[in-house]
């Protein structure tokens, strides 16, 4: 079936290192993607988005890469900090069905 | 700026009881959504309201009903709670139905346990 998913459920990162969180999608009609961050006890928070006419988009300490050929996107966090510890979700939004579909999430733990 | 406010934050129900989860947004958003979040399954859409006066089913609507009371408020009702409805419920809103450019704004969630 069609789904949005993340490759790994957990990721442990040393403080100061760069983090890479991966996400695969299967629906070629998906043309808009969002990364969310969810801290413990809180709702998901928008981090960054990317449209399918782009390959890369940068924000503050974050970069999203989109590879439409293999239906893969990633979120890179530079110089990971303790405050980056959270669950990260990718979500897709299709041009013919605007509802967001979420992956299962990756839990990122930052080691001091 | 409160954003999206959900009440209550926690609730325990007995099987068969009913309750309504409340959601209100103060961002003048047109579209509102209810999601449930279960371990290892991400967020699944229950119901949504693309605009005031309309509601539609999402992927897991069974056992729920919704009301878009006005532009600000979107409630979720469980008529006869079941243990399978134990979950964390999130309300979200977006300026446009596509949710593009700004994504969705989520509330802080309601943790519901049905015993």
Residue A86 has a pLDDT of: 96
- B24-34: per-residue pLDDT in tens? 999 999 999 99
- A32-83: per-residue pLDDT in tens? 999 999 999 899 999 999 999 999 999 999 999 999 999 999 999 999 999 9
Residues in B touching A91 (Cβ below 8 Å): 103
CA distance A59 to B95: 21
B101 to A47, B26, B40, B84, B98: CA distances (angstroms): 11, 19, 27, 35, 9
Residue A23 clears pLDDT 70, i.e. is over it: yes
Task: Say yes or no for a CB contact (<8 Å) between A34 and B108.
Answer: no
Q: Which two tokens stand for residue B62?
A: 């069974």
Residue B93 clears pLDDT 60, i.e. is over it: yes
Which residue is closest to A36 within chain B, CA to CA? B103
Does A62 lie at the interface with B, CB-CB under 8 angstroms?
no
Q: Which two tokens stand for residue A83?
A: 């405050």
Residues in A touching B92 (Cβ below 8 Å): 43
Residue A2 has a pLDDT of: 36
Residues in B touching A49 (Cβ below 8 Å): 100-101, 103
Cis peptide before B8 (omega within 30 of 0): yes
CA distance B111 to B108: 10
């Amino acid at each position: 079936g069609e789904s949005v998913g993340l490759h790994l459920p957990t990721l442990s990162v040393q403080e100061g290192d760069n983090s890479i969180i991966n996400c695969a999608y299967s629906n070629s009609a998906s043309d808009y993607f969002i990364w969310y961050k969810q801290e413990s006890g809180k709702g998901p928070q928008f981090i960054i988005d990317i449209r399918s006419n782009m390959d890369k988009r940068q924000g503050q300490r974050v970069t999203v890469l989109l590879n439409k050929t293999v239906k893969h996107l990633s979120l890179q966090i530079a110089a990971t900090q303790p405050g980056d510890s959270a669950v990260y979700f990718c979500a897709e939004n299709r041009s013919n069905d605007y509802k967001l579909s979420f992956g299962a999430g990756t839990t990122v733990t930052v080691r001091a | 700026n409160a954003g999206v406010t959900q009440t209550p934050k926690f609730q325990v129900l007995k099987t068969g009881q009913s309750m309504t989860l409340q959601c209100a947004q103060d961002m003048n958003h047109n579209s509102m959504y209810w999601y449930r979040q279960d371990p290892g399954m991400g967020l699944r859409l229950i119901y949504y309201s693309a605009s005031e006066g309309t509601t539609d089913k999402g992927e897991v609507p069974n056992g729920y009903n919704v009301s878009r009371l006005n532009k600000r408020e979107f409630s979720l009702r469980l008529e006869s709670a079941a243990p399978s409805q134990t979950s964390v419920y999130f309300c979200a809103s977006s300026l446009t139905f596509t949710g593009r450019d700004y994504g969705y704004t989520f509330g802080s969630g309601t943790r519901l346990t049905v015993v």
